[in-house]
Amino acid sequence: MTLYPSSSQRFLCAVLFLLPLTAAAQTAPIDAPGVSTTATLQMLLGLGIVLALFFGGAYLLRRLNGGKNFGRTGPLKILGGLMIGPRERIVLVEIGETWLVVGVVPGQIKTLHTLPKGELPKEGDDEKPFAFWLKQITEKLHEKQ
């Protein structure tokens, strides 16, 4: 048994290989079908509808959830925050029946004050309800000292 094909086998393979090429050469060239403008517009319209549904769903989820605590459950709530500097914040955190005033800086979080749960001023009472509340609390603390 040899590994190489005989000359007659090579000739037969060449004929079988070239036969489709000669048949294709005899027929008239066919233009490849292109993508029509209608198909492109349908595809873009479908993509726009899918994107609109995606962003509309995300918007509705945010509106229904109030934009807060998305995906978070448990006893911890962030009630408000105040930017002190470009990377420094004071945050009011509610845990059960306790409020914590927390200072947040890069790489560090410190509890500034602990107090019982209370009422924050309503949004219409002041332009910055948390800032106003924090100012009142700090003034009361300074008066006691």
Question: Domain segments of the chain: what residues?
Answer: 37-70, 76-144
Total-model pTM: 0.39
The answer to whether residues 107 and 88 touch, using CB atoms and an 8 Å cutoff, is no
pLDDT of residue 30: 62
Is a pLDDT exceeding 60 seen at residue 82?
yes
Is a pLDDT exceeding 90 seen at residue 53?
yes
Separation CA 54–CA 108 (nearest Å): 37
The answer to whether residues 100 and 114 touch, using CB atoms and an 8 Å cutoff, is yes
The pLDDT tens digits for 115-141 are 888 776 565 555 566 777 777 777 877
Any residues with CB less than 8 A from the CB of 69 and at least 6 apart, and which? Answer: 77, 78
16 versus 108: the higher-pLDDT residue is: 108
pLDDT of residue 86: 87
91 versus 132: the higher-pLDDT residue is: 91
Dihedrals phi, psi of 127, to nearest 5 degrees? -65, -40
Residue at 121: amino acid letter: P
**H/E element, 75:** none
Q: How many other C-beta atoms can be found within 10 angstroms of the C-beta atom of residue 62?
A: 12
Is a pLDDT exceeding 80 seen at residue 112?
yes
